[in-house]
Amino acid sequence: MKQKNIHSPALSRITITDSLFNHYVSIVAKKLIPYQWNVLNDCEPETEKSYCIANFRIAAGELQGRHKGMVFSDTDLYKWLETLAYCIERGEALAYVPHADEMIDLLSRAQEPDGYLNTYYSINCPDRKWTNFTEGHELYSAGHLIEAAVAYYKATGKAKLLEIAARFADLICERFAPGGTLENACPGHQEIELALIRLSACTGEKRYADLARHFLEVRGNASEFLKKNLDEQGRDRIFPEFYDYDALYAQSHLPPTEQNTAEGHAVRAMYMYSAMADVARVYGDEDMAESCIRLWRNLTEKRMYITGGIGSSGHLERFTVDYDLPNDRMYCESCASVGLMMFGQRMAALTGEAKYYDVVERALCNTVLAGIAAEGDKYFYVNPLEVWPANCLSGTSMAHVKPLRQPWFACACCPANIARTLASVGQYIYAQDEKSVYINQFISSELITEIRGTTIALKLRSELLQAGKVNIIISEGRNQPVTLRVRIPPYMEDPVFLFNGNPITPLIESGYAVVAVSREEEQNLEIHANVKPYWAAADKNIRADAGKLALMFGPYVYCLEEVDNRENLANVYVSPQAEIVPVANSTGLPGTLPLLCFCGQRLDPGLDSGEPYGKPHFQFTPESFTAIPYGLWCNRAPGEMMVWLKAILTIPLVTESERTR
Ligand SMILES: [Zn+2]
């Protein structure tokens, strides 16, 4: 396997100009950073207390008290710092730099002399450090500290947080690397692995990457380790829902190189697969790469929703079996789709193939956008494809499904994860290697970067859904030829390429249209594509979607909402031949994605009044319906929402084979 050097340009070199994504990227800097700062300080009224910064002050000996909040609440501050770093890199939220530096000083005071840093264990049970790998999240929290530190160092050049993280990483190496007292321990929630790879790349210290690889290798040799470790906790258990814990839950059932199916807790799985793809790339590990490809295929072909959501079981937020994709009671955690984007980006870097970005785009444009309110201050943890608000009752099996976004969660992983993803969305748009610039997403933006010592300036303007075209202008002087590689997604039918106004037929390689640009004057690549909205069906094995249709436009899944289409969407039927008409978006929702209108039918089963069941006298009444992008649902009035609609099919009473018999 030839090692590739595909990487993202610095965020400081990318400006998002797309009306939809610029809205969300700006809102992170202008609203989320201040809002989450208030939440971390417990001064946001009407929001669940986080206790996050108070915990660090107690650990530093500056406040009295016990640790409160989730066992991994330190990561709320780490993810805030990471998100802020991406904003700073883009020149935004600079007023929060002094707050960040103040927090970094606090972290250094809370860090123990040997480098250990975790407020739950330092405050509540210092004698129980490194004893509860299944539930304790110490390595998981360390991973988010490391990610924040690398991001903050890159954004500001300040090394203090990186030094704090490296001291902790050195302690972890000493304990967990082969020869250490904990060399057989397996992290209960993956994250440290991919963080160590980032730390290794940032510092040039190979031992951090070696430890990441060791954490993957020890996993399959320790299938009973986590279960036994949980049993050892006795009555000191942290998560009561782990009563039926199994090795699949944390993907420790087999060595990673022998795993074939996406199993267990979806976020844990995505973080581990991301680290596996990193290790495969860094070490040229063929077995690991093969395993990543198998897992990717199972995940995206048999266990993923049309929205890029993953995790079918509300209980334990996990995968179940192939094709089990219920629409109203799954988990589809926002963090899991963030993790899917991370895995896809790494698979593309590993293989050089564009197709991985098709899925990244699906997850970003649908589940990740749906996870955050247009105003930026409320979030979904669970992302169903069908909601009837009345049955989302607490104390039932539907308790995890919320019909409205929530301001903040006691377990606040999703808001912070969405924020850091949107703040750094440029890393998913562009990549580069020694001679090429890759365009992986059609999000209007500008890039200035250097390749082979030559500056390249590029303007990407995408109107794929609005006008069926993408325009790419390349300028700036260059003395070396540069290759532009543009992902051609499946929804671009028969694309026509114009280079400086002249039709060309570019080579399509690994899913990218490859165009060489070598002259010094401004050059213009236009792609005209027949992108039309269409009705999608699901594989026959996906029982939940049998006989149903979903409305798609490019990468965007559309849905019906009660506010446009009245209640009881379960009685809406549509023909696969129904014409779909895009209309300008007049709802006030961000961006310029069109609404989609179509004619369908509303069913009245015609039962005698008052009877719950009876002989059918079906009556269909024609009705016009309006669908909006799923990523923007629940931003106007609360109510029902539905992605998969029942299809009206003309079914012959006698089959063709019976007729000819
Ligand atoms: Zn989450």
* Active-site entry in 44, 89, 135, 317: 317
* Active-site entry in 202, 292, 332, 413: 413
Residue 643 inside a domain? The answer is yes
Range in 242-256, 266-280, 326-340, 636-650 the model is least confident about: 242-256
Task: Return phi, psi of residue 454, to 5°.
Answer: -115, 135
Does the CA dihedral 579-541-301-572 come out positive or negative?
A: positive
* Distance in Å, CA 413 to ligand 1 centroid: 4
Task: Quickly state the pLDDT bin for 410 (edges 50, 70, 90).
Answer: low
Could you tell me the residue range of the domain that residue 587 belongs to?
Answer: 534-659
Q: Hunting for tokens 């009685």 — which residue is that? A: 571
pLDDT, one tens digit per residue, over 617-641 is: 999 999 999 999 999 999 999 999 9
Task: Return phi, psi of residue 74, to 5°.
Answer: -55, -30
3-state secondary structure of 382: strand
Number of C-beta neighbours around residue 641 at 10 A: 25
CB neighbours of 275 closer than 8 A, spacing ≥ 6?
190, 193, 194, 197, 212, 215, 216
Residue 58 inside a domain? The answer is no
DSSP state of 410: S
Identify the pLDDT of residue 407. 84
Does residue 511 sit in the same domain as residue 579? Answer: no
Range in 465-469, 473-477, 563-567 the model is least confident about: 473-477
Task: Return phi, psi of residue 513, to 5°.
Answer: -80, 125
Range in 428-442, 590-604, 605-619 the model is least confident about: 605-619
Measure the CA–CA gap between 496 and 486, rounded to whole angstroms: 13
* Distance in Å, CA 77 to ligand 1 centroid: 15
CA 25 to chain centre: 15
Please say whether the beta carbons of 151 and 85 come within 8 A.
Answer: yes
* Distance in Å, CA 298 to ligand 1 centroid: 22
Does residue 520 sit in the same domain as residue 560? Answer: no
* Distance in Å, CA 637 to ligand 1 centroid: 25
Identify the pLDDT of residue 40. 93
* Distance in Å, CA 73 to ligand 1 centroid: 12
Identify the pLDDT of residue 478. 61
Task: Quickly state the pLDDT bin for 653 (edges 50, 70, 90).
Answer: low
Does residue 551 sit in the same domain as residue 626? Answer: yes
Identify the pLDDT of residue 232. 85
DSSP state of 506: -
pLDDT, one tens digit per residue, over 92-123 is: 999 999 999 999 999 999 999 999 999 999 99
Residue 159 inside a domain? The answer is no
* Distance in Å, CA 21 to ligand 1 centroid: 21
Query: What is this structure's pTM?
Result: 0.96
Range in 66-80, 334-348, 478-492, 546-560 the model is least confident about: 478-492
Task: Quickly state the pLDDT bin for 517 (edges 50, 70, 90).
Answer: confident
Round the average pLDDT of the chain to a whole number and report it: 93
Based on the residue annotation, tell me whether 135 is a catalytic residue of this protein: no
Measure the CA–CA gap between 14 and 12, rounded to whole angstroms: 6
Task: Return phi, psi of residue 140, to 5°.
Answer: -60, -50
pLDDT above 90: residue 477: no
Based on the residue annotation, tell me whether 413 is a catalytic residue of this protein: yes
Identify the pLDDT of residue 22. 97
SS3 content of the chain, % helix, strand, coil (to 5): 40, 20, 40
Does residue 655 sit in the same domain as residue 538? Answer: yes
Q: What is the secondary structure of 525-587 as a DSSP string?
A: EEEE-----EEE---TT-GGGTTEEEEEETTEEEEEEHHHH-S-GGGEEE-TT---EEE---S
CB neighbours of 120 closer than 8 A, spacing ≥ 6?
55, 67, 71, 72, 73, 74, 136
Residue 450 inside a domain? The answer is yes
* Distance in Å, CA 407 to ligand 1 centroid: 14
> 29: which 2 tokens?
């800097």
Measure the CA–CA gap between 507 and 640, rounded to whole angstroms: 46
* Distance in Å, CA 415 to ligand 1 centroid: 7
Identify the pLDDT of residue 398. 92
Domain boundary among 509, 528, 547: 528
Identify the pLDDT of residue 437. 96
3-state secondary structure of 257: helix
Q: What is the β-pairing status of strands 454-463 and 445-451?
A: antiparallel
Range in 1-5, 10-14, 20-24 the model is least confident about: 1-5
Residue 423 inside a domain? The answer is no
Measure the CA–CA gap between 606 and 625, rounded to whole angstroms: 22
Q: Hunting for tokens 């989302």 — which residue is that? A: 392
* Distance in Å, CA 334 to ligand 1 centroid: 6
Mean pLDDT of 391-407: 92
Does residue 517 sit in the same domain as residue 561? Answer: no
* Distance in Å, CA 76 to ligand 1 centroid: 11
Q: Give the max Cα distance, the chain.
A: 88
Domain boundary among 471, 502, 528: 528
Q: HSE, CB side, 13 Å, CA atoms: give it for residue 530.
A: 4
pLDDT above 80: residue 412: no
Does residue 588 sit in the same domain as residue 608? Answer: yes
Does residue 505 sit in the same domain as residue 571? Answer: no
Range in 171-180, 358-367, 604-613 the model is least confident about: 604-613
Residue 72 inside a domain? The answer is no
Measure the CA–CA gap between 231 and 227, rounded to whole angstroms: 6
Residue 452 inside a domain? The answer is yes
Give the Å distances, CA to CA, from 400 to 5, 382, 572: 42, 7, 26
Please say whether the beta carbons of 472 and 444 come within 8 A.
Answer: no
> 335: which 2 tokens?
């963090």
pLDDT above 90: residue 651: no
* Distance in Å, CA 653 to ligand 1 centroid: 49
Does the CA dihedral 162-167-173-176 come out positive or negative?
A: negative
CB neighbours of 622 closer than 8 A, spacing ≥ 6?
599, 600, 601
DSSP state of 104: H
Give the Å distances, CA to CA, from 226 to 216, 218, 229, 242: 14, 12, 5, 11
Q: What is the β-pairing status of strands 430-432 and 436-439?
A: antiparallel
Q: What is the β-pairing status of strands 641-642 and 595-604?
A: unpaired
Q: Hunting for tokens 């090429």 — which residue is that? A: 436
- CATH number where 492 lies: 2.60.40.1180
Measure the CA–CA gap between 106 and 182, rounded to whole angstroms: 29
What is the number of structural domains in the chain?
A: 2
Identify the pLDDT of residue 231. 84
Measure the CA–CA gap between 154 and 156, rounded to whole angstroms: 6
Task: Return phi, psi of residue 653, to 5°.
Answer: -75, -35
Does residue 498 sit in the same domain as residue 585? Answer: no
Does residue 487 sit in the same domain as residue 579? Answer: no
Domain boundary among 501, 528, 555: 528
Mean pLDDT of 553-572: 97
Residue 461 inside a domain? The answer is yes
Does residue 550 sit in the same domain as residue 589? Answer: yes
pLDDT, one tens digit per residue, over 387-397 is: 999 999 999 99
Buried b (16+ CB within 10 A) or exposed e, 168-177: bbebbbebbb
Does the CA dihedral 403-407-410-414 come out positive or negative?
A: positive
Measure the CA–CA gap between 378 and 372, rounded to whole angstroms: 6
Task: Return phi, psi of residue 589, to 5°.
Answer: -70, 150
Measure the CA–CA gap between 92 and 94, rounded to whole angstroms: 5
CA 175 to chain centre: 32
pLDDT above 70: residue 655: no
* Distance in Å, CA 411 to ligand 1 centroid: 8
Task: Considering only residues 377 and 3, tell me which one the structure prediction assigns the higher pLDDT.
Answer: 377
Task: Return phi, psi of residue 509, to 5°.
Answer: -130, 125
Measure the CA–CA gap between 101 and 590, rounded to whole angstroms: 33
Mean pLDDT of 464-472: 95
Please say whether the beta carbons of 609 and 38 come within 8 A.
Answer: no
3-state secondary structure of 434: coil
Task: Return phi, psi of residue 493, to 5°.
Answer: -85, 135
Identify the pLDDT of residue 656. 59
Does residue 553 sit in the same domain as residue 639? Answer: yes
pLDDT above 80: residue 359: yes
Side by side, which strands form the sheet with 507-509? 430-432, 436-439, 482-487, 512-517, 507-509
Does residue 539 sit in the same domain as residue 590? Answer: yes
Determine the residue type at 439: I
Range in 27-31, 156-160, 605-609 the model is least confident about: 605-609
pLDDT above 90: residue 501: yes
What DSSP element (H or E) covers 256? none
